[in-house]
């Protein structure tokens, strides 16, 4: 299967993409993970990406498209893939279409995960990440055993700059202005399905599997 997961920051599309990837043995390509790795390694790309993410802005199309193109060229993606965090703009979607056309491939489905704005802000601003192993906790939903200490490695838990409330609000404005038009783009192409992202991870995953089955993708 070749799927794209859409949705505002914090709707849980990354978690669902990871579960689907595991269940159906498909590679998950997360541009967010790739960019955060570059930030940690302080590469030229990482420094450029950090400046954008700290302000709640999107990284340039040219940089992100280049990263995805390299990933899709890897043999592991020949039989299918799940894209999480790409495309984020209509120009990126058009570039993805060109990439697939050149290989004689097509997208099977684009899944738009929906969660209320209030819940998104609560989810993101409450996240705490381990400075060492990058494990993620939450002040309301997934508290560590010891306050401020990672259960996995004992590292310090911090609030990422892009999870601060003011940055979250800025990220949502950027999403609404630049990424939401993708919904209409893919709806016109007849590829869009919408998924209620509220509730527990397990409940949302059940909805996801049912949606894929209804599209003949299970």
Q: Is residue 123 among the annotated active site residues?
A: no
What CA–CA distances, in Å, run from 192 to 44, 93, 120, 149, 212?
35, 13, 21, 41, 12
| Residues 34, 4: Cα–Cα separation, whole Å | 17
3-class DSSP assignment, residue 149: strand
Question: 5-9, 154-158, 176-180, 187-191: which has the minimum mean pLDDT?
Answer: 176-180
3-class DSSP assignment, residue 138: strand
Please state whether the peptide bond connecting residue 50 to the residue before it is cis, i.e. omega within 30 degrees of 0.
Answer: no
Q: Is residue 152 among the annotated active site residues?
A: no
Please report which confidence band the pLDDT of residue 65 belongs to, taking 50, 70 and 90 as the band edges: confident
Q: Is residue 146 among the annotated active site residues?
A: no
Look at residue 109 in the predicted model and tell me its pLDDT.
96
Q: Other CB atoms closer than 10 Å to residue 158's CB: what's the count?
A: 12
Please report which confidence band the pLDDT of residue 48 belongs to, taking 50, 70 and 90 as the band edges: confident
- Tens of pLDDT, residues 52-63: 778 777 778 877
For range 37-45, the mean pLDDT:
79
The DSSP letter of residue 133 is: T
Indicate which residue of 88, 109, 123, 128 is catalytic: 88
Share of the chain above pLDDT 90, in %: 61
The two tokens of residue 90 are: 């209509």
Tell me: pLDDT of 88 over 90. no
Indicate which residue of 2, 13, 28, 109 is catalytic: 13
Domains of the chain: 2-115+173-199 (3.40.50.300)
| Residues 184, 121: Cα–Cα separation, whole Å | 24
- Tens of pLDDT, residues 140-178: 989 999 999 999 999 999 999 889 999 999 989 988 888
The DSSP letter of residue 1 is: -
The DSSP letter of residue 33 is: H
Tell me: pLDDT of 34 over 80. no
Please report which confidence band the pLDDT of residue 4 belongs to, taking 50, 70 and 90 as the band edges: very high
Q: Is residue 165 among the annotated active site residues?
A: no
- Tens of pLDDT, residues 110-139: 999 999 999 999 999 999 999 999 899 999
Q: Is residue 50 among the annotated active site residues?
A: no
Indicate which residue of 71, 109, 127, 128 is catalytic: 127
Please report which confidence band the pLDDT of residue 22 belongs to, taking 50, 70 and 90 as the band edges: very high
Per the model's pLDDT, the better-predicted residue between 165 and 39 turns out to be: 165
CB 68 within 8 A of CB 94: no
| Residues 148, 108: Cα–Cα separation, whole Å | 42
């Amino acid at each position: 299967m070749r799927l794209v997961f859409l949705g505002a920051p914090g709707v849980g599309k990354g978690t669902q993409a990871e579960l689907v990837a595991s269940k159906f043995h498909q590679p998950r390509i997360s541009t967010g993970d790739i960019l955060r790795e570059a930030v940690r390694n302080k590469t030229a790309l990482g420094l450029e990406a950090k400046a954008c993410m700290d302000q709640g802005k999107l990284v340039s199309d040219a940089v992100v498209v280049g990263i995805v193109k390299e990933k899709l060229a890897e043999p592991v993606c020949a039989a299918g893939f799940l894209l999480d965090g790409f495309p984020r703009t209509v120009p990126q979607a058009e570039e993805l279409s060109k990439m697939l056309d050149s290989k004689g491939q097509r997208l099977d489905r684009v899944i738009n995960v929906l969660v209320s704005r209030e819940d998104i802000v609560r989810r993101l601003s409450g996240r705490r990440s381990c400075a060492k192993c990058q494990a993620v906790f939450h002040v309301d939903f997934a508290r560590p055993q010891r306050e401020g200490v990672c259960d996995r490695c004992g590292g310090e838990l911090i609030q990422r700059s892009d999870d601060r409330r003011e940055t979250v609000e800025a990220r949502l404005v950027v999403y609404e202005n630049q990424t939401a038009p993708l919904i209409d783009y893919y709806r016109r192409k007849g590829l869009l399905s919408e998924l209620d992202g509220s509730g527990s991870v397990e409940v949302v995953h059940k909805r996801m599997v049912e949606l894929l089955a209804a599209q003949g993708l299970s």
